[in-house]
């Protein structure tokens, strides 16, 4: 169904400067097929992670068992596990052999909200969700992976159906994009490599 209605972003979209991809992903849509359910959400916050010159990047010291995906083909999915509890979703950028990835920090739910609520163990299904619970569904990198059933099984896979695709959506104009410092890192936090949609309530931190 979705293959005929929506166009997925090609690998060439990701074969570019990581910062530009991080900005251009805002307003695009993530489409996830989970069993018989379709989950769809709009990207509203991203962070760029670069190569050797970025101390916060997993690739700063070259390829490792965890970061090797970042050196792979553009358009690969990079999922890693943190704090012994959570998976985070990234998309690989730059040409093969040059490390780069964009972390998806927050999304705005569009479709499959009852399933997302169940996966987040909120105990309620839309439309019974309060406004606060609705925002809490996907307003952070670990929240959105839980809500969309994203885990390590996707690591290293190319973007596209049947598992996970990024749709064209409606990219934001530059006037609607805010650049800010990245969150939750000790090195390189002063670099303004986090980007979000101005005024969107699902952004993890304004």
Domains and CATH numbers, the chain: 2-110+149-197 (3.10.300.10)
Per the structure block, which two tokens stand in for 137?
């569904």
Cβ burial, residue 149 (10 Å; 0-12/13-18/19+): buried
Give the DSSP per-residue string, the chain.
Answer: -HHHH-PBPPHHHHSS-HHHHHHHTTT-EEEEEETTEEEEEEEEEEEEE-STT-TTSTTTTS--TTGGGGGS-TTBEEEEEETTTEEEEEEE-SSTTS--EEEEEEEEEEE-HHHHHHHTT-S--TTS--HHHHHHTTSSHHHHHHHTT--GGGTTPBSBTTTEEEE---PPPGGGEEEE--SS-SSSTTS--EEEETT-TT-S--
Q: Global pTM?
A: 0.93
28's tokens? 């695009």
Q: How far is CA 28 from CA 4, 23, 98, 127, 197, in A?
A: 17, 10, 24, 24, 11
Contact 75, 159 (CB under 8 A): yes
Mind listing the pLDDT tens digit of every residue in the chain (206 residues)?
A: 555 456 789 999 999 999 999 999 999 999 999 999 999 999 999 999 998 888 788 888 888 888 899 999 999 999 999 877 899 999 999 999 999 999 999 999 999 999 999 999 876 655 578 888 899 999 999 999 999 999 999 999 999 999 999 999 899 999 999 999 999 877 767 789 999 999 999 999 87
């Amino acid at each position: 169904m979705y293959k005929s209605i929506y166009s997925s972003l090609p690998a060439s979209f990701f074969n570019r400067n990581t910062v530009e991809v991080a900005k251009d992903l805002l307003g695009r849509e993530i489409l996830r097929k989970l069993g018989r359910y379709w989950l769809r959400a709009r990207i509203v916050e991203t962070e760029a992670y670069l190569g050797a010159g970025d101390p916060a990047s997993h690739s700063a010291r070259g390829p490792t068992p965890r970061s090797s995906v970042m050196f792979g083909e553009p358009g690969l999915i990079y999922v890693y596990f943190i704090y012994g509890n959570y998976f985070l979703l990234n998309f690989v950028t730059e040409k093969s052999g040059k490390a780069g990835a964009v972390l998806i920090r927050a999304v705005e739910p569009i479709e499959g909200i009852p399933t997302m609520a169940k996966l987040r163990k909120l105990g309620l299904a839309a439309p019974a969700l309060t406004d606060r619970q609705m925002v809490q569904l996907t307003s952070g990198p670990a929240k959105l992976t839980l809500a969309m059933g994203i885990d390590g099984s996707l690591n290293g896979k190319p973007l596209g159906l049947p598992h996970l695709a990024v749709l064209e959506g409606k990219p934001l104009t530059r006037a609607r994009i805010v650049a800010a410092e990245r969150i939750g890192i000790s090195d390189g936090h002063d670099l303004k490599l986090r980007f979000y949609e101005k005024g969107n309530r699902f952004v993890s931190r304004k």
